[in-house]
Amino acid sequence: MEGVSPKQCLDHQCNSARRMPGAFTLYSADGERVRFPDPSGGEADAAGDFDNLLWRSRGELRVLAKTDPDAHVDFTSEEAAAMEMEIEYLLKRAAERPQQLEPRHGAAQRGLMRLREMARWCAAHEGSRIAWRGD
């Protein structure tokens, strides 16, 4: 939707928000991909499926606003604490406005919960990083 900011799109609940395909992955300080407990059960090593909400909320985010569908961005362990606060904000927004995530509301919430776990782990392990890889 050209000429409309993400905030305007959110306010007007448009259905044509730009998609942000990609995924977040977690790496230890020595560069190894980290598996972490999935809040939904089992283990996970990536988080995604919440691109609609992320795009619609970009104007209100500082750390996660660095993501781009065509970019590769690394987030430091120092950025992870701020990222966790932004994820909490997105989870709250998802609960308040589930229609913005349809038909993937459940997948989006699970993806955000995985990213929150990644951010917590990353913040607690100096030198680790969360990598965003756009498709």
Q: Is residue 110 part of a domain?
A: yes
Element (H, E) at 112: helix 105-124
pLDDT at res. 32: 96
Q: Is residue 10 part of a domain?
A: no
Q: How many domains does the chain have?
A: 1
Sign of CA dihedral 48, 58, 82, 131: positive
Question: In this predicted model, what pLDDT tens digit does every residue of 38-92 receive, in sequence order?
Answer: 888 888 888 887 877 788 888 889 999 898 878 899 999 999 999 999 999 999 8
Q: Is residue 13 part of a domain?
A: no
Q: Is residue 1 part of a domain?
A: no
Domain that holds residue 110: 21-134
Question: In this predicted model, what pLDDT tens digit does every residue of 103-120 receive, in sequence order?
Answer: 567 788 888 999 999 999
pLDDT at res. 23: 87
Cα–Cα distances in angstroms (integers) from residue 52 to residues 23, 30, 102, in the given order:
13, 32, 9
Q: Is residue 93 part of a domain?
A: yes
Q: Is residue 123 part of a domain?
A: yes
Residue type, 93: R
Q: Residue 47 in contact with residue 75, Cβ under 8 Å?
A: no
